Structure 1
């Protein structure tokens, strides 16, 4: 008597659970389609526009993040160095090169799920274009390491995986025509604690 309703309820619970799990997995797997990759840096210029694909819109709604308009800015993220190795808090890195044209850019480290890296008070959690020292040829050299470094230093949590996030504000590269000739600085691993 209760066998058929029980089987129907079990089938619905399994279907609902698997459907929810697959949707959450799909949202964590990508921000959407239409990404651009410049070395280890990735950006999704269409993610914040009205023409964004359904995955980008769902990702946007889940995160609840304030996004830039198409001409206001562009966010680049890097989870690997220029050699293709995952970024790790056991290693030190140098970000070297010219930055794209922008009125202001910021650089910080985040956890793999996008939250700010937890650092001790007084540690440099971020840099920007106004406070970063440049070389004579206009390049930047930013040392990313868990221990203090001379010059431009961005602190990371020791032993924890992280991502680098560079935000370009008021930049011509946010428009559809600016990303073709764009170049981003390289991310070079300079050493690891366990090597």
Structure 2
């Protein structure tokens, strides 16, 4: 009986430590292969067949699909230009130009990777096809729970926010230098608790 108890104890310790170390390794390796441009972060090779095993494991863990190398690049931001964490209840301004892409989308997500549904009658994401632009092709998007005139990306609830900017059918790729693209600036306008 003592032998069985010791075997079960050894197995539970091994499985517990193994699971914890795998989780820790995934969290600590989040920056492998990533490119950072201001608050925007991308892993352009995450959807490639030869992507590093940590990228593949992170994608399997959250359960989201990623863009393949020939499809485009996805950038995410969980902080504004000043480095403050994004919050759903705050108002932000996303302005500037986007790199060449046939189509691009911007959408709000939770930290767990789930699309934030802003409520009935509100659009959960914006695309480049239905965006109002200035004469120089620049744009400005209000991001937050309060309705605004012009381009508005609605959020709902409270808590952390992650914005996802996806560029589809774009010449921007891992080979052509993702680090050299110019992305829109994300600035805080107001926040209830600030």
TM-score by length of 1: 0.91
Alignment of 1:83-162 (within 5 A): 83-162=82-161
Deviates more, 1:165-174 or 1:132-141: 132-141
Q: Check 1:81–1:24 CA distance in 2 against 1; reply closer, same or farther (3 A cut).
A: same
* Structure 1 residues without counterparts, runs of 5 or longer: none
Alignment of 1:5-154 (within 5 A): 5-28=4-27, 31=30, 33-154=32-153
Check whether the contact 2:40–2:77 (CA below 8 A) recurs between aligned residues.
Answer: yes
Distance of 2:64 and 2:181 partners within structure 1: 25
Distance of 1:108 and 1:89 partners within structure 2: 12
Deviates more, 1:54-63 or 1:93-102: 54-63
Q: Check 1:22–1:111 CA distance in 2 against 1; reply closer, same or farther (3 A cut).
A: same
Alignment coverage as a number of residue pairs: 194
Q: Check 1:173–1:147 CA distance in 2 against 1; reply closer, same or farther (3 A cut).
A: same
Query: Aligned-pair distance for 1:181?
Result: 2.5
DSSP 3-state at the match of 1:88: coil
Check whether the contact 2:26–2:54 (CA below 8 A) recurs between aligned residues.
Answer: yes
Q: Check 1:89–1:69 CA distance in 2 against 1; reply closer, same or farther (3 A cut).
A: closer
TM-score by length of 2: 0.92
* Structure 2 residues without counterparts, runs of 5 or longer: none
Check whether the contact 2:109–2:163 (CA below 8 A) recurs between aligned residues.
Answer: yes
1:59-110 Cα deviation digits (max 9, x unpaired): 2333443332212111000000010000002311000111111000000000
1:90-131 Cα deviation digits (max 9, x unpaired): 311000111111000000000001111132111121101011
Check whether the contact 1:31–1:44 (CA below 8 A) recurs between aligned residues.
Answer: no
RMSD: 1.7
Q: Check 1:147–1:35 CA distance in 2 against 1; reply closer, same or farther (3 A cut).
A: same
